[in-house]
Chain A
């Protein structure tokens, strides 16, 4: 089959000419530089790799918790927008060891836009590592390196029912302060029922503020503190949050979206409790402040060998601590954000050895599973390990 478009000879000439057209167009074009792409600039505004923030105010919330107000170190610099419910990862040197931890933003997006600050609220006692350090050493003027806001724990208008039942435990109240306050300040359709589990009255964070919000928004906000301590005061529910308790405050279980945030152990308890409601997964969102507990925890100690180029470094790792913590204890400061297996930021290559991942942690890509990559933040060693660790992009700006 012979095909011609404009005639045999003309086609040949066209072929030759269209090659010349290229040269002609190139010659004619300006030699000016192309300015940076507007979308690259927008992406940078939305998601800077890291932020340098300064503590501008410290507020004692309860005996065990403080709110740190953070502002840009650079005068007049805008803080990135975020979605109420997201977190920041904050880095510091704890007793000389560089580590980071995620903290939900307890302030609202409007407070960042208009007031130029982010609040994080840290709770901790001596059993912790980073939190007690932050509580005892962070003072006004302290400079912190953070990631931009991250995470997927927010209201998604394309999905959520208009009644949100929020279940908070301990410091897990922080994102809800942001989510609820933000939504109530707008003319949105959402209603909230907040059940807030606390060990004692004095450990109730944002008490006055939440009560005030309830007073101002009686139709949109129901607030139920639930105290597990010996003496639960008047006006508070006693014990733990249970299915029965939820039923008493929520009549339309089938038409609500559940949001949980708090310690993993409480998450596990609530998962059992909520089973009777047969919730569709789209009706149940959660943010775990860490890994779900392992079924059984031994006390064995293994070694982890980290290979980086020609270098090898070997360190100890406990069976009951994540591989990430072992790396951090050795001062490696590998990349980490969510610390609960979801975000994939700690993704590393496992060359040898066996690990355990708690049930219910599911963020690993299937291709990573196939080719031997894993998430150290939610993996516990079961033998000696040999692995590679990616570089920490924040390290480049480290002290």
Chain B
């Protein structure tokens, strides 16, 4: 069987789903290949007993306009027309710094957010307000870029959004220093750094500002039926458009000839031809193990990967508890718990199996989505960053034990910080480690985040260099390792734009 498609999409993570959605909507003959038996990659769910767990999503920013850079929820609902029910998250987060005696609930809404910081750190209103205004400005500049993606007028950008250019090479800390944001205010301002996975002394201010503003100004939502609802809603539309989706089908090779992709070979040895390929698998995987023959890979493509730093992976402890959130004293959806908010030190501590001085970002699903589990029960997920190196010494024989020990540490940290008791209520528990993510998504080394977005490898440099770093004419990338960097919104929008760019070439 030598089938042929206009576009093959490799991998059905959020990026691949969005790409297949857009390509099939445009009337192309599309094949989406997925090695797992589920769509979504990280955006999925799993069931244990009475509980259906959310594997990865903490929240999506709820920017009200599709015109804006992070208006991904509006894109899903209004533009793509997906059948997803979203639940609203009440507050931004509770930050508990155990060594600094900080325990503050941060609200959504820029005004309320600034007021709360001022109350905790008197005198910080002015710099924090300036900081938040600047973040707003950056986000608007992104909106301008998104609207003019096809042809950016940099002089116009400079005129309208000079701050965007002037802070473009800066780190999050540099801007905070410049605006004299006091350290105590940064304690409350910085917890979201862990969603980007780069300490604020190296983190691109641009991407940080957009993230902070989009959450705080827009609030956040989660899908009612876990992320599997988003993925399934995409699948429904792709099939409706006549796209084909094959599960349990791994791509073993991407066949290329003279700088062009001609098709793929599946693990079962089946050859399928295509006019263009959109890969949700990372450049790391594609250029190191999938392109065939490997001599077709230009050295620049591998240098490009080797120059970058792969982001980290996670450990998540998923807990189904047999007591309701009220009984457990869990009033907050999102908990950021750490000894302090020195992001550089927290980043250094990522991945120590003793869990010494680490930060955890934990979520009580029921607070935003009360019907997510039966009455009198709670779903709690404790998450901490881990580098795979920490697990490299763990062998299959002590793997389960190691996971248990890490889980105990994270549970203990949570119990002490929040002043609650979790252990006696565990009805279901599952611990995901980097190898778990590697198993289910095939991601290189189980990495959850993409390449680290330092200023020189943040979204703007990546976007500007995209055509230059485009090594195969009819191969584009989407997902967390692509130009928009990682995260749900970025992955989805990267898939959309990969499809649009592919269609523009093939005349769609």
Contact = CB atoms under 8 A, between A and B. Distances in A.
A201 B162 CA distance: 87
A347 interface: yes
A29 interface: yes
B303 A26 contact: yes
B303 A12 contact: no
B391 interface: yes
A363 B47 CA distance: 6
Interface stretch (B8-16, B111-119, B129-137, B490-498): B129-137
Interface stretch (A118-126, A128-136, A365-373): A365-373
Q: How large is the interface on B (under 10, 10 to 19, 20 to 34, 35 or more residues)?
A: 35 or more
A5 B162 contact: no
B452 interface: no
Interface string B215-246: 00000000011101101110110000000101
A293 B121 CA distance: 64
Contacts of B289: 36
B262 interface: no
A34 B37 contact: no
A368 B165 contact: no
Contacts of B250: 393
Interface string A338-350: 0000101101000
Interface stretch (A40-48, A53-61, A222-230): A40-48
A27 B133 CA distance: 37
Interface stretch (B59-67, B185-193, B432-440): B432-440
A1 B137 contact: yes
B167 A282 contact: no
B438 A39 contact: yes
B400 A83 contact: yes
A391 B249 contact: yes
A3 B163 contact: yes
Nearest to A160: B426
A307 B392 CA distance: 44
A368 B228 contact: yes
B249 A5 contact: no
Interface stretch (B456-464, B473-481, B500-508): B456-464
Nearest to B36: A393
A28 B134 contact: no
A335 B461 contact: no
Interface in A133-171: 152, 156-159
A157 B244 CA distance: 44
Interface in A85-137: 113
Interface in A228-263: none
Interface stretch (B17-25, B95-103, B169-177): B169-177
Given A3-B179, A37-B438, A31 B166 contact: no
Interface in A2-22: 2-5, 8, 11-12, 14-15, 17-19, 21-22
A110 B221 CA distance: 47
Interface string A35-78: 01111101101110000000000000000000000000000000
A199 interface: no
Contact of B268 (A26, A371, A396): A396
B423 interface: yes
B233 A371 contact: yes
Contact of B47 (A21, A32, A156, A365): A365
Identify which of A5, A31, A363, A397 gathers the most chain B CB atoms within 10 Å of its CB: A5
Contacts of A373: 232
A5 B166 contact: yes
Contacts of B130: 1, 3
Nearest to A33: B288
Contacts of A38: 388-389, 391-392, 445
A83 B446 CA distance: 22
Given A33-B288, A371-B232, A26 B307 contact: yes
A295 B185 CA distance: 62
Given A29-B307, A391-B247, A395-B268, 14 more contacts: A1-B163, A3-B178, A4-B166, A12-B165, A26-B300, A34-B305, A39-B313, A39-B434, A40-B445, A43-B446, A46-B435, A152-B48, A156-B426, A364-B47
20 contacts: A3-B134, A4-B166, A5-B169, A12-B165, A15-B166, A15-B169, A23-B465, A31-B302, A33-B302, A45-B396, A80-B396, A159-B427, A282-B426, A282-B427, A335-B37, A344-B46, A344-B47, A371-B83, A371-B232, A396-B267
